[in-house]
């Protein structure tokens, strides 16, 4: 549970012996929401409480948990294959070398959806594309610049052009369907004229030249590339020159954790609880690579952590949104619509609309008599 782990006073079984009691040193709604996050397992330790756990012998294998409390899964073993790009994985899915795609690329969605051999399950991910700022970067230090950058982006247009409509314009750091956020979502307004004026006021450059220049790190992926190019185009229309630098994921992690960047296009896990944005944006958050957020966001997130009641929690959530609007540590672009693709060689129970089909993986099973589903 990250830094909140320190809040645990003790864990002890109840007298009945079939439950455990967790005592915290302090009161925080985030502690309850932290239960949603998977436990961090010590590398190579194996084991787990879910329907599947990593095998100790293989870094890419998972095996069924025969003691899973809802019953052992029908699938005995899962082999995970890593691909450099979503397109490569999709191509192997077409070749029927894999049974499931964890992430179907936007390019592949249309091609796979019509197939009678592959079932595609769409859902809105709890991740969103963001261009995170390094608050230490000189050009991005003024809050008004970062506010103007947020106001420069037409997110709906971005979703349409870069994501081909497969996404939802972002409203901020918090999952908009969280009960504490509700309908009172604060979102940055798209106001390119005001943004251009702000950039002009801050500029020291000569006429005809971009007033604001910074470099954005972009992972080497087609979708990231399109988003980056679209953002670059929109920013250029308000006089911002956002240079793009393609980096690998390792390079990106290294740059962010070392605060050796100005901006970075990343996908940030921001839901479904407020625990996630807390851990991502708080300077002490376990999911914060080190360079994300700022003092304003820390204060707002602390208020969230220290809320004593539901009402306090709602007020704190509003405060977080307001803080991120006033002193935005990033440009929040879009929640991504993604899809899992599952070969119809598996019988997959139906799931509620928008829910991740992986939540039912323990119930997946190949048709009778076909125990080895994949052909690889």
Partner 1 sequence: MGLKVRHIAVRFALLLGIAAVVPLLAYGFVSLLSLERGTHDSIVAGNRNVATRAAEEIRRYVVTNAALLKALAADLQDTGLDQRQQDQILKNYVLDFREFREITLFDEAGGVVATSRIGSPRVSIPKDKGIVIDEVSMSPIRVDDDLLPTSVFAIHLTRLNRPSGWLVGEFNLEEMWRMVDQIRLGEHGFALVVAPDGQLIAHGDPDKKALIARQRNMTAHRLVSAVRARNDGGPSSEEYVDDAGRTELGVAARIPQLGWTLIVEQPTDEAYGSARQLQRQLVVAIAAALLVMIAIGYLFGRSFITPILTLKRATHAVAAGQLDTRVNIQTGDEFTELGDSFNTMADRLIELQENVKKTERSAMFGRVAAGLVHDLLHPIQNVANNTRLLLREDLDNEGRQDCGRVIDREMTTIKRFLDDLHSVVKPKPLERFIMDLNLAVKDVVDSMSQEGQRSGVAIEGAYVPGSLMIVGDRFALGRVFRNLITNAIQATEAGGRVSIATSRNGKTVEVNVTDTGSGIPADKLSSIFEEFVTTKRRGLGLGLAITKRIVEQLDGTIAVESEVGRGTAFTLRFPARDTESAQAAAS
Q: How far is the CB of 232 from partner 1 (least distance, A)?
A: 7
Distance CA 147, CA 150 (A): 5
Query: Which member of 87, 254, 314, 365 binds partner 1 (CB under 8 A)?
Result: 87
Q: How far is the CB of 212 from partner 1 (least distance, A)?
A: 15
Which is closer to partner 1, CB of 160 or CB of 259? 160
Interface with partner 1, residue 96, by CB under 8 A: yes
The three-point CA angle 48-23-39 to 5° equals: 20
Backbone angle region of 165, left / alpha / beta, with phi > 0 → left and psi within -120 to 50 → alpha: left
Interface with partner 1, residue 226, by CB under 8 A: yes
Which among 365, 271, 376, 280 has a CA at the least distance from the CA of 36? 271
Q: How far is the CB of 47 from partner 1 (least distance, A)?
A: 36
Distance CA 348, CA 125 (A): 20
Query: Which member of 78, 130, 151, 162 binds partner 1 (CB under 8 A)?
Result: 162
Q: How far is the CB of 265 from partner 1 (least distance, A)?
A: 10
Only one of the segments 20-28, 175-183, 224-232, 310-318 lies at the binding site for partner 1 (rule: CB under 8 A); that segment is 224-232
Q: How far is the CB of 341 from partner 1 (least distance, A)?
A: 12
Query: Which member of 74, 137, 229, 358 binds partner 1 (CB under 8 A)?
Result: 229
Q: Which residues pair with 127 in a beta bridge?
A: 269
Interface with partner 1, residue 136, by CB under 8 A: no
Interface with partner 1, residue 228, by CB under 8 A: yes
Which is closer to partner 1, CB of 199 or CB of 224? 224
Task: From residue 7, give the alpha-carbon distance in Å to each of 4, 22, 89, 124, 301.
Answer: 5, 10, 41, 32, 16
Interface with partner 1, residue 161, by CB under 8 A: yes
Q: Which pair of structure tokens corresponds to residue 173?
A: 């750091």
Q: How far is the CB of 8 from partner 1 (least distance, A)?
A: 44
Interface with partner 1, residue 236, by CB under 8 A: yes
Which is closer to partner 1, CB of 107 or CB of 356? 107
Which is closer to partner 1, CB of 237 or CB of 359? 237
- Please give the residues from 99 up to 118 whose contact with partner 1 meets the rule CB under 8 A: 107, 110-117
Query: Which member of 64, 244, 358, 373 binds partner 1 (CB under 8 A)?
Result: 244
- Please give the residues from 313 up to 372 whose contact with partner 1 meets the rule CB under 8 A: none
Interface with partner 1, residue 212, by CB under 8 A: no
Which is closer to partner 1, CB of 320 or CB of 339? 339
Q: How far is the CB of 233 from partner 1 (least distance, A)?
A: 6
Interface with partner 1, residue 160, by CB under 8 A: no
Interface with partner 1, residue 242, by CB under 8 A: no
Q: How far is the CB of 67 from partner 1 (least distance, A)?
A: 38
Task: From residue 66, give the alpha-carbon distance in Å to each of 19, 59, 70, 361, 362.
Answer: 20, 20, 10, 14, 11
Only one of the segments 18-26, 47-55, 216-224, 290-298 lies at the binding site for partner 1 (rule: CB under 8 A); that segment is 216-224
Distance CA 330, CA 288 (A): 13
Binding residue count for partner 1, defined by CB under 8 A: 33
Quick check: 233 and 152 in contact, CB under 8 A? no
* Half-sphere exposure at residue 253, Cβ-oriented, CA atoms within 13 angstroms: 4
Interface with partner 1, residue 233, by CB under 8 A: yes
Chain contacts with partner 1 (rule: CB under 8 A)? 85, 87-88, 91-92, 94-96, 107, 110-117, 161-162, 218, 220, 222, 225-226, 228-230, 232-233, 236, 244-246
């Amino acid at each position: 549970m990250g830094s909140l782990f320190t809040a645990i006073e003790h864990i002890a079984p109840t007298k009945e012996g079939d439950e455990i009691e967790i005592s915290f040193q302090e009161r925080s709604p985030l502690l309850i929401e932290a239960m949603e996050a998977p436990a961090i397992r010590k590398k190579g330790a194996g084991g787990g409480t879910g329907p599947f756990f990593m095998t100790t012998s293989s870094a890419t294998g998972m095996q069924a948990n025969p003691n899973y409390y809802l019953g052992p899964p029908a699938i005995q073993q899962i082999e995970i294959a890593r691909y450099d790009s979503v397109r490569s994985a999709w191509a192997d899915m077409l070749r029927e070398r894999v049974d499931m795609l964890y992430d179907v690329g936007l390019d592949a969605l249309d091609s796979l959806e019509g197939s009678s051999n592959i079932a595609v399950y769409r859902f809105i991910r709890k991740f969103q594309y963001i261009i995170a700022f390094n608050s230490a970067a000189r050009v991005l230090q003024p809050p008004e610049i970062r506010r103007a950058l947020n106001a420069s982006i037409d997110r709906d247009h971005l979703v349409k052009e870069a994501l081909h409509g497969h996404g939802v314009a972002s409203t901020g750091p918090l999952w908009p369907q969280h009960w504490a956020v509700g309908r009172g979502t604060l979102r940055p307004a798209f106001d390119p004229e005001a943004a251009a004026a702000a950039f002009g006021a801050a500029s020291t450059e000569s006429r005809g030249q971009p007033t604001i220049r910074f470099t954005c790190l972009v992972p080497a992926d087609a979708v990231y590339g399109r988003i980056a190019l679209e953002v670059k185009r929109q920013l250029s229309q308000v006089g911002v020159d956002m240079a793009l630098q393609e980096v690998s994921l390792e390079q990106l992690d290294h740059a962010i954790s070392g605060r050796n960047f100005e901006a970075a296009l990343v996908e940030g896990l921001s839901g479904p609880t407020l625990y996630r944005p807390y851990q991502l944006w708080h300077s002490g958050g376990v999911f914060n690579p080190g360079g994300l957020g700022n003092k304003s966001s820390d204060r707002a997130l602390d208020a969230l952590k220290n809320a004593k009641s539901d009402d306090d929690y709602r007020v704190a959530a509003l405060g977080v949104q307001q803080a991120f609007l006033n002193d935005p540590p990033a440009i929040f672009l879009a929640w991504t619509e993604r899809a899992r693709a599952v070969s119809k060689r598996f019988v997959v129970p139906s799931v509620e609309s928008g829910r991740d089909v992986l939540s039912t993986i323990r119930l997946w099973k190949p048709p009778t008599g076909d125990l080895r589903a994949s052909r690889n």
